[in-house]
Amino acid sequence: MKLKYIFTILAAAAMFASCNKEDIITYDNNTRYLSFATSEVEVSFSRYPGETTIQYPVVVNSTGYSEKDMAYTISVVADSTTAQSTDYAMPSTFTMPAKAVADTFYVSLNYTEKLDTETMRLGLKIEPNENFLEGATSARMIDIYFNNALSKPAWWTSSVTSYYLGTYSDLKYKYFLQVTKVDLDETANTSIIRHYALIFKAWLAEQAAAGNTITEANGTPMTVPAGGK
């Protein structure tokens, strides 16, 4: 009886293990999945003074790497795109370099006057091919919104307002971009922000000395607190 009981337990365990193996999804080491690093971005030509075309970088990540270059395919999603074919340009096939697990491809975004008042959307998606399958559902597509509108950047924090550039305004930011010719991002530290704030402040002083005081929209002189008075 005891031996029969043991065999019963072993048979049940074997059956349970068999069921679990069928339920677990396994991945072939040779199968690679491709995903966008982000699902949505906004690009403004106002941050690229004088530019009529922006080469915007888009990052894709792979779950594994190959010993050789591997082609991957990106397509435009018509239902998610309001931009016309003349508003952008990009090839459909790109190359993931050998031994790489990430790649950056570039989309050309073209300026037109309609971007002064409208925001265009370009939807892109990963197409499965012989080298890559689509990654997680939430990372298979990216929407690129582009316009020529100014908006307060994330790096212009309360500390930047207090110590470096003063109160934000679209007009001040426009001049800042024109003078410094840089568009900072969230990774910019206070030393970098202070450096460019001082360059901007020096320009404002030069303009005032030349009898061309730069003002805010309400007519008050434009000022920045960096470096003190």
Q: Domains of the chain (ranges plus CATH)?
A: 33-147 (2.60.40.1740), 150-229 (no CATH)
Task: Please state, for a pLDDT cut of 70, what percent of the chain lies above it.
Answer: 86
pTM beyond cutoff 0.75: no
Burial per residue of 42-71, b for 16 or more beta-carbon CB atoms within 10 angstroms, e otherwise: ebbbbbbeeeeebebebebbbbeebeeebe
pLDDT at residue 14 tops 90: no
pLDDT at residue 22 tops 50: no
pLDDT at residue 173 tops 50: yes
Task: Please state, for a pLDDT cut of 90, what percent of the chain lies above it.
Answer: 76
Q: How would residue 11 be classed by pLDDT, with cut points 50, 70 and 90?
A: very low
Residue 192 pLDDT: 95
